[in-house]
Amino acid sequence: MIRKSYVYGPVPSRRLGLSLGLSIVPRNTCSLDCIYCQCGRTTRKTLSRKAFFPMKDILAQVEDAVKGRRIEFITFSGEGEPTLNKDIGKLIRRLKQKFTIPKAVITNSTLLSVPQVRRDLYACDLVVPSLDAADQKTFARVNRGHHNLKVRDIIEGLKTFRRYYKGRIWLEIMLVKGVNDSVEHLVKLRRAVADIRPDRVHLNTVVRPPAEKKARPLSHSDLEQIQRLFGPGCEIAESPVRKRQRKFKGNADKAVVELARSRPVTKKDIERSLGIEPKKLDAVIGRLIRAKKIKLVEFWGKRFYELH
């Protein structure tokens, strides 16, 4: 229900610093089936909103998770599309009453055309929506959305949300080599971004094992050229230099499994996220691999660990 993940890295969900990640929908429940998704294929593609878990259970787990920790954001993200949970607005408001910690929502933007979803997110301090395509053909190739979704409606939903939302919007664009990175498409995407008027634009590419092997990353030089195309306010998502977490206390095996459940992670990700010492972490990883709880995968020369 809730993944207590303190994560760092190059995408906006990890640009929030020390963040408590809340997954309020079942794993791989989403309106999209993106070819680059680090969580794998979508097993339940839907646009129907419902209450997946009891609110009191989520609130109790959050309260327990933040005790004694320095949290910079409470973030609705995780293993599916969080706005599919119809209680998200109530949860944001309840958490604002209980904690002064800023609240963030990471969304694929597909439901922002729904007035109630926009109202649900107005109480949030930061919204990190994504937009990977500016035309229907490219949207179908990269995001493989629910058959009722139209990219023009998604863009209109983002524009309307920006018009009334008083908080910050950091728009993420995930670029896949040979899929949505043509000059023609990027010009369309830049035009859409100009209409949406986010506070920041974050360019990202495929850096973790994707749902489809054909999804390949752009080079850093490619991203730099695209950054210049988008102009001021656009930045390339990169790992920030941060101090090590305080020394980990608790069940290391369980913590590593929970982290790997959300996304494929490198050893460095685990060290930074959980503060486990390298020697101890080697033993933990070895033990979990032998127990077939996690497995090693390689992607573009990097070693990742994910659920077995």
Q: How confident is the model at residue 79 (pLDDT cuts 50, 70, 90)?
A: confident
Whether 5 maps to a domain, the answer reads no
Confirm whether 4 is domain-assigned. no
pLDDT at 72 over 60: yes
- Residues 49, 174: one domain? yes
Q: Write down the pLDDT at residue 299.
A: 81
Task: Check whether residue 230 and residue 278 sit in a common domain.
Answer: no
Say whether pLDDT at 240 is over 70.
Answer: no
CATH number at residue 272: 1.10.10.10
pLDDT at 13: 40
d(CA 268, CA 8): 10
Q: Note whether residue 298 is domain-resident.
A: yes
Domain with 279 in it: 244-308
Using alpha carbons, select from 46, 26, 42, 44 the residue that is nearest to residue 34: 42
Write down which residue in 242, 261, 296 finishes a domain.
Answer: 242
Kindly state whether residues 189 and 305 are assigned to the same domain.
no
Tell me whether residue 206 is in a domain: yes
Find tokens 């949406």 and name the residue: 196
For 165, the token pair is 């939302």
Domain ends where: 184, 214, 242? Answer: 242
Domain boundary among the residues 224, 242, 260 is at: 242
C-alpha 184/C-alpha 214 separation (Å) is 21
Residues 6+ apart with CB under 8 A from 103: 73, 74, 75, 76, 92, 95, 96, 123, 124, 125, 126
The pLDDT of 64-78, averaged and rounded, is 82
The answer to whether residue 1 is domain-embedded is no
| 175 located within any domain | yes
Looking at the fold, whether 204 and 298 belong to one and the same domain comes out as no
Gap between the Cα atoms of 193 and 109, Å rounded: 13
3 lies in a domain? no
Residues 93 and 155 in one domain: yes
Quote the pLDDT of residue 278. 85
Clarify whether residues 254 and 276 are in a common domain: yes
CB atoms within 10 A of CB 62: 21
Q: Whole-number mean pLDDT of the chain?
A: 87
pLDDT at position 18 = 67
One domain, residues 72 and 175: yes
Between 206 and 240, residue with greater pLDDT: 206
Is 41 in the same domain as 145? yes
The per-residue pLDDT for range 249-285, each reduced to its tens digit, is 788 898 888 888 777 888 888 887 777 888 899 999 9
Calpha distance 172→151 (Å, rounded): 15
Residues 248 and 238 in one domain: no
With 0-12 / 13-18 / 19 or more C-beta atoms within 10 angstroms meaning exposed / middle / buried, residue 1 is middle
pLDDT of residue 241: 36
Please write the tens of the pLDDT for every residue from 151-196.
999 999 999 999 999 999 999 999 999 999 999 999 999 999 999 9
Render pLDDT for 106-143 as a digit per residue (tens, 0 to 9).
999 999 999 999 999 999 999 999 999 999 999 999 99
41-45 own/partner pairs: CB under 8 Å, 24+ apart? 41/211, 44/80, 45/146
Closest CA to 37 of 215, 188, 202, 185: 215
Specify whether the CB–CB gap between 217 and 164 falls below 8 A. Answer: no
Local structure of 217: helix, strand or coil: coil
The strand order across the sheet containing 234-236 reads 19-22, 73-76, 103-107, 126-129, 168-175, 200-205, 234-236
Q: CATH number of the domain that 195 lies in?
A: 3.20.20.70
- Encoded tokens for 158: 């983002």
The greatest distance separating any two alpha carbons of the chain, rounded to the nearest whole angstrom, comes to 53
| Overall number of domains in the chain | 2
Instruction: Give me the pLDDT at residue 134, please.
Output: 98
Mean pLDDT (whole number) for 192-207: 96
What is the band of 247 on the pLDDT scale with cuts at 50, 70, 90? low
d(CA 37, CA 81): 12
Band the pLDDT of 243: cuts 50, 70, 90: very low
**92: which 2 tokens?**
């944001």
| Co-location of 32 and 159 in the same domain | yes
Cβ contact 261:307 at 8 Å: yes
Please check whether residues 56 and 192 belong to one and the same domain: yes
pLDDT in tens, 5-59: 322 222 234 466 667 888 899 989 999 999 999 888 999 999 999 999 999 988 9
Q: Report the candidate in 245, 275, 241 with the shortest Cα–Cα distance to residue 70.
A: 245
Residue 6 counted as domain residue? no
- Whether 109 and 214 map to the same domain: the answer is yes
Amino acid at the residue 294 = I
Q: What is the pLDDT of residue 189?
A: 98
Residue 96 pLDDT > 60: yes
Asked whether residue 204 carries a pLDDT value surpassing 50, the answer given is yes
